[in-house]
Structure 1
Amino acid sequence: MGTVEAYETARGKRYRVRYRTPDHRQTDKRGFRTKREADLFLATIEVSKATGEYIEPSRARTTIAELGPGWLESKRSRLKPSSYRAIEDAWRVYVMPRWGATPVSAITHSDVRTWVSQLAAGTAKTNRRDSVRTRGQADRKKSATVVIRAHGVLASVLDIAVKDRRISYNPARGVDNLPRKHRKAHQYLSHEEVERLAVAAGEFSTLVYLAAYTGLRWGELTALRVRDVDALRRRLAVNENAVRVGSEIHVGSPKTHEVRSVPYPEFLELPIAKLCEGKARDGLLFGDGQEYLGRPRSSGASRSWFMTALDAAGLDRMTVHDLRHTAASLAISSGANVKAVQRMLGHASAAMTLDVYADLFDDDLDTVSASLNEARTVAIAR
C-alpha cells in the first residue's frame, strides 16, 4: 500500500504520494493541493494495479510523433503504393502538425472532436507548404474523404498506444461529428454514346471500347500485355495493375489481389489483334509495347486525349473510370446476372456489386410488383 506525505513549498503545503508499480519499483507523484486529492489518486493507483489497468506514467508521456513513424512503416508493406501514399500524406499534412508533440495521455475526446470540426471547416493547423502542394488551398474546407482519412490515421496510432499500455482507452474512437461521404452519382453511357466517344478518341478508340465493355480499371487496362489476350475464348487475363504514384509507375496485383478472366465482345477481336501486331508476348497491349513510359496517359488533365474526345462527342465531363460504370450498366441491361457482373468487374462479392449499382436494378422492383399482382389474380380466380 502507498503512503501520502505532506511537504512545504513556497506556495504552501502540498502532498506527495509514494507507491510501488506492479513490477515493485517505488515511485511518487507530488503537487497535490489537498490530502483528499492525494488519497483519491492513491486509491485509483491501487485499483488500477488490482485490475491490471495500471499505466506507467513515463510510457503515457510518449508523443504521437514517436509512435506515428512505426505505425506508418507497418502499413508500407501491407498497402498498395497509392493507398500508402494517401495515409502518409494525411499523417504529414494533417496529423503530425497538430498532434505530433502531444503526449498520448494528454489527448482528450473533446480535443479530437474539435480538430475534426476544424478540418472540415478548413481552419485546422496543417503543414501549409505540403497542403498547398498536395491538396490545393490549405485553408479551404476539406472533403469528407480527407477528414475521415486524417481522423483514421490518428485513431489508428492511438490504437497502438492502447495496445502498448500507454493509455487505457482511445480518445479518438466514437467521435460522432465525422462528415458523411456522399457517393457521386454514376454516369452511364448508351451504346450510341460509347460509339461516338470511341470515334472521337481516334487512336485510343480500342481503349475506350474495352473500358466501356469490360469494366477494367485504368491501371488494369494499361497493364495488359499481349500474353494476357486469349483470342480463341475472347478473354483478357487481368494479372496486374499499374498505378502512377507521384512520378513513378507502381505495378502490382489487381485491386482485390485476385487475378480474373474478363470476356470481351466479338467486335473487338480485330482491333485487339491489331494492337498485338509486332509486339513480344511480354509487350504492353497499349502504347508502344515497351515498359510503362510509352503507355497512354490517364484522363485526369483538362486537355487530355479523353477530355478532348468527350468534347468532340458532345458528352458531359467524366473520367475513364466512369466507363466502368457504363460497362456494368450495359451488362445488366443485356440480361447478365449479378454474379457474372461481379466477376467481370472484380468486386469482392455480389453484395458489393448490388450495393454499388443498386440504381440499375430499380426496374426490377416494378417487375416484382407486377409479378405479385399477376400471382394474386391467378390465385383468387381459382
Structure 2
Amino acid sequence: MGSVHAYATAAGERRYRIAFRRPDNTQTSERGFRTKKDAELRLAEVEVAKARGEHVDPSTARITVERLGVEWLASRENVLKPSAYSSLASTWDKHVRPKWGDRSIGSIRHSEVGAWMGELAAHETRKATDGVPAKLASATTIRRAHGLLAAILDVAVHDRRISRNVARGVALPAKSRAMTRRYLSHAQVQLLADEARHPTLVMFLAYTGLRWGEATALRVRHIDALRRRVSVEENAVLVSHEIHVGTPKTHRSRSVPFPAFLSLPIAQLAEGKSRDALLFGDGREHVRLPASRNGWFTAAVKAAQAIDVDMPRITPHDLRHTAASLAVSSGANVKAVQRMLGHASAAMTLDVYADLFDDDLDAVATALDEAKRAAVVVNPLSRERDRLA
C-alpha cells in the first residue's frame, strides 16, 4: 500500500503528496493535493487501478503526438497499399502534425479535439475534386484527420500511457449520401469510344466494370478468349507520379466476363505481345490515368458532348458506374453485379447502387398482383368442382 505525506510549499502553504510503488515495483510519488482527503482518494484510485492492471503512470503521458505519430505511420507503411499509406501520410503532414505534433498526449482534452473538428470544417475549401461533391470531400478529409489522431491515441492507451482516448466520441460530419452518379447509355458509350484515343479501353471499362488500375494492369495471360473472361489479379495505382502494382482493392482475384463484341478488339490488342505483356498500351508501360483538366479522356467527353447534348460530364470511374447500370438494365441480379464489380458483399452493391434496383420493386408489385389475380380465378373453379363432385 502507498502512503500520504504532508509538506510545505515554498510559499509556506500546506500540501499533500502520495507515495506508492508502480506495477514494476519502482517507487514514485504524486504531489500537489490541497487536502489530505484528495490525496487519499487519489491513492485509492491508484491501488484499484494497479489491482485491475489498469494503472497509468502520468510521467509516460509526456511523450509528444509527433513521436508516437511517426512510429505509428512507420508501422503502417508495409501493411497498407501505397495509395492508402500516401493518403495517411498526407493527412498527417497537412492536418495532424501541425495541430498536435508538439503536444504531449496527456495534455490533450476531449473538448479541444471537438473544436479542431469545427476548425477543419470551417477551413475546408469545399471545392469538388475529381468529380466528388464538395461536401463529401470535406467530410472525408475531416473524418480521416480525426481517425489518424484517434489511432495514435489508441496506441497510447494500449501502452498504458493514458487511461482513455479523448478523441473517441467526438461528433463527426456525416458522409453525404446525396451523390449523383452518372450513367451512360449504350449509344453514349459508343460515341465516347469513337472520340477517344483508347477506344477499346473505354468500351472495356464500360462493359466490365473494372477499376482503372485493374484494367490497365491486365496482361495478355489474364485473358481467356474461349470463355470470354479476364482474370483480375493485379492493380496499378499512380502514387506520387509513380505506378505501384499490387493486388486488387479487395486483395482477392476475380473472374469477370466481357461481351462477345469485345473479343475482336481485345484480340487485336494482344496480337504480337508476349503473355506477360500489358494488354492495354504498348505492353511495357501502364496506361496512366489521364489528367482531369486536359487529358485525352476529358477531350473525348467534350467532343462527344458537342455531338450529343445529353452526354454528361464524366470521369473514367463513371464508366464503372455505367457498367453496373447496363448490367442491371439487361436483367442481371444484384449477386451477379457484385461479383462483376468485386464488391465485398451484395449488401455493399445494393448500398452503392440502390437507385438502379428501383425497377425491381415495381416488378415485385406486378408479380404479386398477377399472383393474386390468378388465385382469385382458381378459387371459384375449385369450389365449383367440389360442388359437382
TM-score by length of 2: 0.88
State the distance in 2 between where 1:233 and 1:94 align.
50
**Are the structure 2 counterparts of residues 44 and 374 from structure 1 closer, same or farther at C-alpha, using a change threshold of 3 Å?**
same
* 1:86-235 to 2 correspondences below 5 Å: 86-122=87-123, 143-182=138-177, 184-201=179-196, 203-235=197-229
Question: Partner of 1:359 in structure 2?
Answer: 355
Alpha-carbon deviation of 1:304? 0.8
Residue 312 in structure 1 maps to residue 313 in structure 2: no
Q: Is the 8 A contact 1:224 1:238 kept in 2?
A: yes
Opposite residue 305 of structure 1, the aligned amino acid is W
Higher-Rg structure is 2
Alpha-carbon deviation of 1:243? 0.4
Question: Partner of 1:302 in structure 2?
Answer: 293
Q: Is the 8 A contact 1:299 1:319 kept in 2?
A: no
State the distance in 2 between where 1:360 and 1:167 align.
48
- Over residues 212-271 of structure 1, what are the superposed CA-to-partner deviations in whole Å (9 max), with x where a residue is unaligned? 000111001111112222222211121111000011100011111111121111111111
Alpha-carbon deviation of 1:379? 3.2
Question: Partner of 2:374 in structure 1?
Answer: 378
After the TM superposition, list the runs of 4 or more consecutive aligned residues in structure 1 that deviate by more than 6 angstroms.
Answer: none
Opposite residue 260 of structure 1, the aligned amino acid is R
Aligned residues: 365
- Of residues 326, 348, 354, the one that matches 2:322 is 326
Question: Partner of 2:256 in structure 1?
Answer: 262
- Over residues 15-55 of structure 1, what are the superposed CA-to-partner deviations in whole Å (9 max), with x where a residue is unaligned? 22222223332212222333343333223222322332211
- Over residues 153-194 of structure 1, what are the superposed CA-to-partner deviations in whole Å (9 max), with x where a residue is unaligned? 111111111111111111111112334343522111110111
Question: Partner of 2:230 in structure 1?
Answer: 236
Opposite residue 97 of structure 1, the aligned amino acid is P
**Are the structure 2 counterparts of residues 325 and 149 from structure 1 closer, same or farther at C-alpha, using a change threshold of 3 Å?**
same
Q: Is the 8 A contact 1:220 1:241 kept in 2?
A: yes
Q: Is the 8 A contact 1:120 1:179 kept in 2?
A: no
Q: Is the 8 A contact 1:121 1:142 kept in 2?
A: no
Greater mean alpha carbon deviation, residues 1-10 or residues 263-272: 1-10
Corresponding residue SS for 2:84? helix
**Are the structure 2 counterparts of residues 142 and 332 from structure 1 closer, same or farther at C-alpha, using a change threshold of 3 Å?**
closer
State the distance in 1 between where 2:342 and 2:178 align.
20
Corresponding residue SS for 2:268? helix
Structure 1 segments unaligned to the other structure (5+ residues): 124-133, 135-139
Q: Is the 8 A contact 2:153 2:167 kept in 1?
A: yes
State the distance in 2 between where 1:105 and 1:277 align.
64
State the distance in 2 between where 1:270 and 1:371 align.
40
State the distance in 1 between where 2:136 and 2:245 align.
33
Identical amino acids, percent of aligned pairs: 57
Corresponding residue SS for 1:143? helix
Root-mean-square deviation (CA, aligned residues, Å) is 2.2
Question: Partner of 2:383 in structure 1?
Answer: none
State the distance in 2 between where 1:84 and 1:237 align.
26
Corresponding residue SS for 1:9? coil
Residue 27 in structure 1 maps to residue 28 in structure 2: yes
Corresponding residue SS for 2:14? strand
